[in-house]
């Protein structure tokens, strides 16, 4: 770990006007080990804040934790609104400049607030960090981290962000680089602290207005709101600093795409379908491995079940599920995948996740026949 982060850029081809995403490759960086420790600690602290916000939500009806790790919470909320037939509007937002525009002074201030809330009693004084996870401990020993140590670690990392561009070395004075392990957690918790404090103040002033933000979810820099009636657009400057630019993405309040979900409101019901931004590119994407690549054959076939699970979760009708699954299977066949092994994986999927496939109302033989005409 004797190298500095190497700076490079990759294009955002899904944008109408392609932009660049700048990455600081930190695989063998001098701060790699420190960043890994901070990542494990912040992951534990995020869980602690989630528990706190769940208690507040039960008591007040106001959701102060918008952070999500995948589409599971969004799909659960869609199911909840559909059961009640109360879906009115959807809005998606995107931070055009998040990582690179966070002021260091404010980042340190908000991270201190986050740690203050997490280390709140005697049972939450020390964090034991192993190679792969972190847990709370009551007592201190040589491999545990306390509040002061963790805060100093975070401050040191923020103050010592160096990147190498060619033969030149620069220190980043504004923002955090994409590429270091803990960058997503720092950005997530920074935004969370601002959202929490905004909702805490709003709850005291007008709890009914605060509850309008209950159906909000954020995957790092992608934000979605349900039944918010455009309040996020009007109040975003009260939540986030002017350095962070939050743009509304969808043009119509009844249609949007978020993560891998395409949504459309019809008669107060949200219809969902699978969405892949790579389909918007004007060139072909090879997004699955060829069987003749340097990957074990059985491991390449392991992607089948996980993809079918994703399809059945997102697609709200059997027709959509069959369409995307058939397209997926055809792609694998063109990549020389073994059809017998594919059918075996589909069979395992049907047996193990029968509770999900029930909405398609078909037997295992009918499913395989639909995917292999």
CA distances from 44 to 9, 26, 127, 189, 361 (A): 31, 22, 9, 12, 41
Q: What CA–CA distance (Å, rounded) separates 204 from 143?
A: 42
Rounded to an integer, the average pLDDT of 344-367 is 90
| 70 and 189 belong to one structural domain | yes
200 lies in the same domain as 262 = yes
Nearest in space to 192 (alpha carbons), one of 368, 53, 94: 53
Does residue 276 belong to any structural domain of this protein?
Answer: no
Same domain as 138, residue 191:
yes
Within a domain: 57: yes
- The three-state (H, E, C) secondary structure of 324-372, written as one string: HHHHHHHHHHHCCCCHHHHHHHHHHHHHHCHHHHHHHCCCHHHHHHHHC
How does residue 270 score in pLDDT terms, banded at 50, 70 and 90? very high
Task: Say yes or no: 244 and 152 in one domain.
Answer: yes
CA pair distance 70, 274, nearest whole angstrom: 14
**pLDDT grade for 223, boundaries at 50, 70 and 90:** very high
Structure tokens at 82: 């559909």
The pLDDT of residue 198 is above 80: yes
CB 249 within 8 A of CB 111: no
- Together in a domain, 19 and 163: yes
pLDDT at 280: 75
Order of all β-strands in the sheet with 134-137: 134-137, 126-129, 144-146
Please check whether residue 278 lies inside any domain of the structure.
no
Say yes or no: 62 and 185 in one domain.
yes
Helices and strands (H and E) in the chain: how many: 13, 14
pTM to 2 decimal places: 0.90
How much is the pLDDT for 240? 94
Q: Can you give the pLDDT at residue 287?
A: 78
Residue 73 CA to residue 66 CA, distance in Å, equals 10
C-alpha to C-alpha distance for 74 and 264, rounded to whole angstroms: 14
Q: Is the pLDDT of residue 26 over 70?
A: yes
Q: What is the share, in percent, of the chain residues with pLDDT greater than 90? A: 58
pLDDT band at 133 (very low <50, low <70, confident <90, very high): confident
Q: Could you identify the residue written with the tokens 């455009």?
A: 230
Is the domain of 119 the same as that of 267?
yes
Last residue of a domain, one of 271, 294, 315: 271
For the segment 329-340, what is each residue's pLDDT rounded down to a tens digit? 998 888 888 889
- pLDDT, mean of residues 282-288: 76
Q: Are residue 267 and residue 331 in the same domain, yes or no?
A: no
pLDDT for the residue numbered 96: 83
| Rounded distance between C-alpha atoms, residue 99 and residue 122, angstroms | 34
Residues 344, 218 share a domain: no
142 pLDDT tier (thresholds 50, 70, 90): low
Taking each helix axis from N to C terminus, what angle separates 104-118 and 183-205, rounded to the nearest 10 degrees? Answer: 70
Domain of residue 365 covers 286-371
* Residue at 279 is within a domain: no
- Please compute the mean of the pLDDT values over residues 1-24 and round it to a whole number: 78
Whole-number average pLDDT of the chain: 89
Final residue in a domain of this structure, among 240, 271, 302 = 271
Q: How many structural domains compose the chain? A: 2
Q: Is residue 19 within 8 Å of 173, Cβ to Cβ? A: no
Last residue of a domain, one of 271, 298, 328: 271
Q: Are residues 307 and 250 in the same domain?
A: no
pLDDT for 297 equals 67
Q: Please tell me whether residues 251 and 295 are part of one structural domain.
A: no
Same domain, 250 and 328: no
Say how far apart CA 347 and CA 326 lie, in whole Å.
Answer: 15
| 218-244: average pLDDT | 93
Which stretches within 173-230 are classed as H helix?
183-205, 207-210
Q: How far is 239 from 199, CA to CA, in rounded Å?
A: 9
Q: Is the pLDDT of residue 261 over 60?
A: yes
């Amino acid at each position: 770990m004797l190298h500095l982060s190497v700076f490079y850029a990759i294009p955002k081809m899904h944008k109408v006007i392609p932009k660049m995403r700048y990455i600081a490759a930190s695989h063998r960086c001098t701060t790699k080990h420190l960043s890994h420790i901070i990542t494990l600690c912040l992951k534990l602290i995020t869980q602690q804040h989630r528990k706190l916000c769940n208690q507040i939500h039960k008591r007040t009806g106001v959701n102060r934790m918008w952070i999500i790790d995948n589409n599971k919470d969004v799909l659960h909320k869609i199911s909840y609104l559909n059961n009640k037939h109360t879906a009115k509007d959807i809005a998606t937002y995107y931070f055009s400049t998040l990582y690179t525009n966070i002021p260091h002074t404010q980042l340190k201030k908000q991270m201190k607030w986050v740690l203050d809330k997490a280390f709140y009693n005697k049972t939450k004084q020390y964090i034991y960090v192993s190679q792969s996870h972190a847990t709370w401990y009551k007592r201190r020993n040589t491999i545990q981290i306390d509040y002061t140590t963790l805060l100093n670690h975070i401050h040191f990392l923020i103050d010592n962000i160096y990147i190498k561009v060619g033969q030149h070395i620069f220190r980043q004075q504004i923002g955090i680089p994409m590429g270091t392990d803990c960058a997503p957690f720092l950005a997530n918790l920074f935004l969370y602290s601002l959202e929490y404090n905004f909702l805490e103040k709003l709850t005291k002033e007008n709890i009914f207005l605060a509850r309008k933000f209950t159906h909000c979810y954020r995957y790092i820099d992608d934000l979605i709101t349900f039944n918010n009636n455009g309040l996020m657009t009007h109040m975003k400057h009260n939540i986030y600093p002017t350095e962070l630019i939050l743009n509304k993405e969808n043009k119509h309040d009844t249609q949007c795409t978020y993560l891998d979900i395409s949504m459309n409101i019809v008669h107060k019901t949200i219809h969902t379908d699978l969405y892949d931004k790579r389909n918007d590119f004007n060139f072909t994407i090879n997004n699955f491995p060829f069987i003749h690549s340097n990957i074990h054959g059985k491991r390449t076939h392991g992607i089948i079940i996980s993809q079918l699970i994703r399809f059945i979760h997102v697609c709200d009708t059997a027709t959509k599920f069959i369409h995307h699954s058939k397209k997926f299977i055809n792609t694998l066949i063109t990549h020389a995948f073994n059809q017998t092994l594919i059918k075996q994986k589909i069979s395992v999927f049907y047996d193990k996740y029968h509770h999900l496939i029930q909405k398609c109302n078909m037997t295992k033989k009918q499913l395989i026949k639909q995917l292999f005409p």
